């Protein structure tokens, strides 16, 4: 049964990340065809987005994927689930090729091969009994000194990068906001894992009702929301301060590294493995992280090209209108 749950964790993680990336791609495609937000009233913007079927379907995928992600974290470890983000990006590349008619570049092919190699190594070296934890066990993990230090240190780093950017108004502010957003997202994933400790997939509704009665579960849930909201806000500031092709890869890297390290430090996920397995898994993570970095750069470049084309088209329309 444990092997089945591990397989389900991988499948649900891939589904979650695939839905997330495709949803974002659909939202971007739809947004690029809509009138500029700053030139429309709030009501008109809402109407434009909510009546656009492509954007609404993308929005639906982005939000529904959380259900799959929660179950993936319930059944699998952080170090197993989070790297599946690389497979989600591969699905996005394939989707973009067939639906958005975007060509696959040599850089993307190299990235895809790296991610596939890393995922294969990660799967082969994974234990057949990925641990699952109850809410009580989660509490025991998170109240350890190492867990508290890990969370506090990364929270301070995140806040420090944001404050430094605000006070100094430095040229690398976009970079720091991108990293801060990724750190916040990674911490949010750790508390998402804690939230799933209140669930048991075999008795979901009963355990869910019990979790709602436990005050510590609500703290984990509040921290989950807090870090994810902070991540979203910091990312938008990063996009305003620097190019997306710089900010997005940094966000992707930090949001991968922080929860994986958290899984090792807080939940001791690799403690039962031999040195050889740990080395193999480390190589797999490097391959996946490198692939994600390359795909993130390629994806944001395509987005910027799409925006540039829309701006050129809009400017051409304005010039023709003024001439007429």
pLDDT at 304: 56
Q: With contact defined as beta carbons under 8 Å apart, do 79 and 263 qualify?
A: yes
pLDDT tens for residues 28-77? Answer: 777 767 776 657 777 887 788 888 888 889 889 988 998 899 888 888 88
| Whole-structure pTM value | 0.76
Task: Work out the mean pLDDT of the chain and round it to a whole number.
Answer: 81
What are the tokens at 35?
Answer: 């009138």
pLDDT at 97: 81
Sign, Cα dihedral of 71, 74, 80, 81: positive
Q: Per-residue pLDDT tens for 244-262?
A: 667 777 888 888 889 989 9
Mind listing the pLDDT tens digit for each residue in 253-286? 888 889 989 998 998 888 777 898 889 989 988 9
pLDDT tens-digit profile of 78-104?
888 888 888 888 888 888 788 777 788
CA angle, corner 271, sides to 269 and 272, nearest 5? 105
Among the ranges 198-202, 223-227, 273-277, which has the highest mean pLDDT value?
A: 223-227
pLDDT score at 151 = 96
pLDDT for res 317: 46
Kindly report the backbone phi and psi dihedral angles of residue 54, in degrees, each rounded to the nearest multiple of 5, phi listed first: -65, -45
């Amino acid at each position: 049964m444990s092997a089945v749950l591990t397989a389900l964790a991988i499948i649900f993680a891939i589904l979650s990340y695939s839905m997330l990336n495709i949803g974002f791609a659909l939202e971007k495609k739809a947004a690029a065809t809509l009138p500029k937000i700053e030139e429309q009233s709030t009501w008109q913007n809402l109407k434009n987005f909510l009546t656009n079927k492509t954007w609404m379907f993308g929005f639906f995928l982005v939000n529904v994927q959380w259900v799959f992600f929660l179950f993936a974290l319930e059944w699998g470890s952080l170090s197993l689930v989070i790297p599946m983000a690389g497979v989600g990006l591969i699905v996005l590349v394939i989707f973009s090729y067939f639906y958005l008619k975007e060509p696959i570049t040599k850089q993307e092919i190299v990235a895809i091969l790296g991610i596939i190699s890393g995922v294969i190594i990660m799967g082969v070296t994974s234990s057949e009994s990925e641990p699952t934890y109850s809410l009580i066990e989660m509490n025991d993990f998170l109240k350890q000194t190492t867990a508290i230090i890990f969370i506090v240190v990364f929270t301070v780093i995140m806040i420090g990068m944001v404050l430094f950017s605000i006070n100094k108004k430095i040229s690398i502010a976009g970079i720091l906001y991108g990293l801060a957003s990724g750190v916040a997202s990674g911490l949010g994933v750790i508390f998402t894992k804690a939230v799933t400790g209140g669930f048991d997939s075999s008795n979901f509704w009963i355990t869910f009702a019990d979790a709602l009665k436990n005050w510590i579960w609500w703290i984990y849930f509040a921290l989950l929301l807090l870090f994810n909201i902070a991540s979203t806000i910091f990312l938008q500031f990063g996009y305003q301060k620097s190019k997306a092709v710089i900010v997005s890869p940094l966000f992707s890297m930090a949001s991968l590294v922080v929860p994986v390290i958290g899984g090792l430090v807080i939940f001791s996920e690799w403690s039962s493995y031999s040195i050889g397995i740990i080395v193999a898994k480390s190589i797999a993570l490097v391959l996946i992280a490198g692939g994600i970095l390359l795909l993130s750069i390629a994806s944001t470049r395509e987005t910027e090209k799409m925006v540039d084309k829309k701006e050129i088209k809009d400017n051409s329309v304005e010039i023709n209108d003024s001439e007429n």
